[in-house]
């Protein structure tokens, strides 16, 4: 009898155990394989800054500038940057002042700002879009024509240095003076001044004129030929409207669409955990576990090692090799990282450096991303909206993509000014793109 009772108890316990193993409750969740894809969806920009200049200093409305008047504009630029601009020689059909197609170097080989008078680097160019008439007399020139773009097409359509066909073109320095001032370590102010007078342009009818300068555009670039290529026709993106009619709006819009900071994503750390985010604590000083190295220099090793020893961490790892590559490196626009892990419970947290910054990183909130809902279903889909841009509080922020102590421009790791601040959502004087314009993160539970 005792043997039968013992056998019955064992059968009941076995049945109960089988029922518990088949449960889908979160407390007894089956192991799920998760795959996470971190994609850089940022656009690639050709220029770091650009704009229209059209309002004379001391005035409030757009207008050409005459003798003694000037345009001014400010910008920030990193070492390696160059300045180009274009402004119309108004008493002409299609002549404009601009630097050589390579632009004006803003820094020397030692990293010092090139400031002072740069007029010697300015040329008078022929856009090759309209037949030239005598400067100051031509009926198809802006001051005398009935409307824009009235002149006959030039048989030589190539951009070239202006020729003194009529023997009355003044020299560059008789019309324009261009100076560059420093406003900060990476800040510049450019002044374009009209230095002509009423005797500068002598015409065959015995009259004389000053030479107005018209509104134009400026652009900060790293490669040659941002506005034109000498010896080639214009690309018809708006420089013709500047050279013939002093209208910078079309080219200004084109440049604006191609201007910005190209964002880069660095290697990072992930963790599956059961308690709060093990990578950082919102509102607290960095505790020296490796977040600083990740956020400032894109180095995940120290933080990964620290996380590995934390009690609430179930699994963790590094993502550092772009998909399709064999070597670790940052992810440029169009590239991605991917990693997999198994989990039956808990949350996912990860962090990756926003490279064009001093110490910013992308990460979910302090709890992380819940991997299973209350019914035990694994999370699937786009989770980008659960991320934020965080400031590690370890280094003083500089202008994104420009700062000298940001990873792409500093001479070594940990070069910036110590901030000794708390980890927090980024909140400073600079503008940052929406996360959806930088990164897309998807997760699939299989």
Domain spans of the chain?
A: 31-44+262-445, 49-257
Cα 245 to Cα 86: distance, rounded to the nearest angstrom: 12
| Pick from 360, 336, 127, 150: nearest CA to 239 | 127
| Pick from 92, 79, 427: nearest CA to 220 | 79
The helix (H) or strand (E) run that includes residue 303 is helix 301-308
Cα 201 to Cα 138: distance, rounded to the nearest angstrom: 13
Give every CB contact of residue 444 below 8 A, 6+ residues apart in sequence.
Answer: 34, 35, 380, 381
Cα 237 to Cα 224: distance, rounded to the nearest angstrom: 16
Q: What pLDDT does 198 receive?
A: 96
Kindly report the length of the chain.
446
Please tell me the CATH code under which domain 31-44+262-445 is placed.
Answer: 2.60.40.2130
Q: What pLDDT does 145 receive?
A: 84
| Pick from 131, 198, 197, 207: nearest CA to 165 | 131
Cα 81 to Cα 168: distance, rounded to the nearest angstrom: 36
Coil vs helix vs strand at 3:
helix
Cα 138 to Cα 303: distance, rounded to the nearest angstrom: 71
312 φ/ψ angles, rounded to the nearest 5 degrees: -85, 0
Confidence (pTM): 0.89
CB atoms within 10 A of CB 165: 12
pLDDT tens by residue, the chain, 446 residues: 434 433 433 333 333 333 323 333 345 668 999 999 999 999 999 999 999 999 999 999 999 999 999 999 999 999 999 999 999 999 999 999 999 999 999 999 999 999 999 999 999 999 999 999 999 998 988 888 877 878 888 999 999 999 999 999 999 999 999 999 999 999 999 999 999 999 999 999 999 999 999 999 999 999 999 999 999 999 878 999 999 999 999 999 999 999 999 999 999 999 999 988 999 999 999 888 999 999 999 999 999 999 999 999 999 999 999 999 999 999 999 999 999 999 998 999 999 999 999 999 999 988 899 999 988 899 999 999 999 999 999 999 999 999 999 999 998 888 889 998 999 999 999 999 999 999 999 999 87
């Amino acid at each position: 009898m005792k043997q039968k009772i013992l056998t019955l108890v064992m059968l009941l316990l076995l049945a109960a155990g089988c029922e518990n193993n088949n449960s889908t409750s979160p407390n007894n969740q089956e192991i799920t394989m998760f795959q996470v894809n971190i994609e850089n969806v940022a656009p690639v920009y050709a220029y770091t800054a650009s704009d229209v200049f059209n309002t004379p200093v001391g005035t409030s409305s757009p207008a050409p500038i005459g003798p003694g008047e000037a345009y001014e504009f400010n910008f920030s630029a990193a070492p390696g940057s160059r300045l180009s601009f274009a402004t119309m020689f108004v008493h002409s059909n299609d002549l404009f002042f601009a630097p050589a197609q390579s632009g004006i170097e803003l820094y020397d080989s030692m990293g010092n700002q090139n400031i002072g008078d740069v007029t010697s680097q300015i040329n008078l160019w022929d856009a090759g879009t309209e037949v030239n008439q005598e400067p100051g007399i031509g009926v198809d020139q802006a001051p005398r024509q009935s409307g824009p773009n009235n002149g006959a097409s030039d048989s030589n359509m190539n951009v070239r240095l202006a020729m003194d066909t009529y023997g009355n073109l003044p020299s560059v320095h008789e019309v324009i003076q261009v100076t560059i001032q420093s406003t900060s370590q990476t800040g510049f102010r450019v002044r374009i001044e009209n230095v002509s007078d009423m005797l500068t342009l002598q015409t065959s009818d015995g009259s004389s004129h000053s030479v107005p300068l018209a509104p134009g555009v400026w652009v900060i670039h790293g490669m040659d030929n941002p506005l034109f290529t000498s010896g080639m026709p214009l690309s018809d993106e708006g420089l013709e409207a500047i050279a013939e009619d002093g209208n910078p709006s079309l080219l200004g819009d084109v440049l604006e669409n191609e201007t910005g900071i190209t964002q880069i994503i660095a290697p990072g750390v992930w963790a599956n955990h059961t308690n709060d985010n093990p990578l950082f604590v919102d509102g607290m000083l960095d505790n020296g576990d490796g977040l600083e190295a990740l956020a400032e220099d894109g180095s995940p090793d120290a933080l990964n090692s620290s996380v590995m020893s934390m009690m609430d961490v179930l699994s963790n790892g590094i993502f550092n090799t772009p998909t399709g590559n064999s070597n670790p490196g940052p992810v440029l626009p169009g590239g991605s990282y991917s990693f997999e892990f198994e989990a039956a419970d808990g949350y996912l947290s990860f962090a990756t450096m926003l490279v064009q910054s001093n110490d910013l990183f992308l990460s979910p909130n302090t709890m992380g991303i819940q991997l299973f809902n209350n019914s035990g279903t694994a999370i699937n889909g786009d989770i980008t909206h659960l991320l934020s841009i965080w400031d590690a509080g370890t280094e003083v922020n500089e202008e994104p993509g420009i700062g000298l102590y940001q990873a792409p421009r500093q001479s070594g790791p940990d070069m910036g000014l110590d901030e000794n601040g708390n980890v927090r959502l980024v909140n400073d004087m600079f503008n940052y793109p929406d996360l959806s314009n930088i990164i897309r993160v998807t997760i699939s539970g299989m």
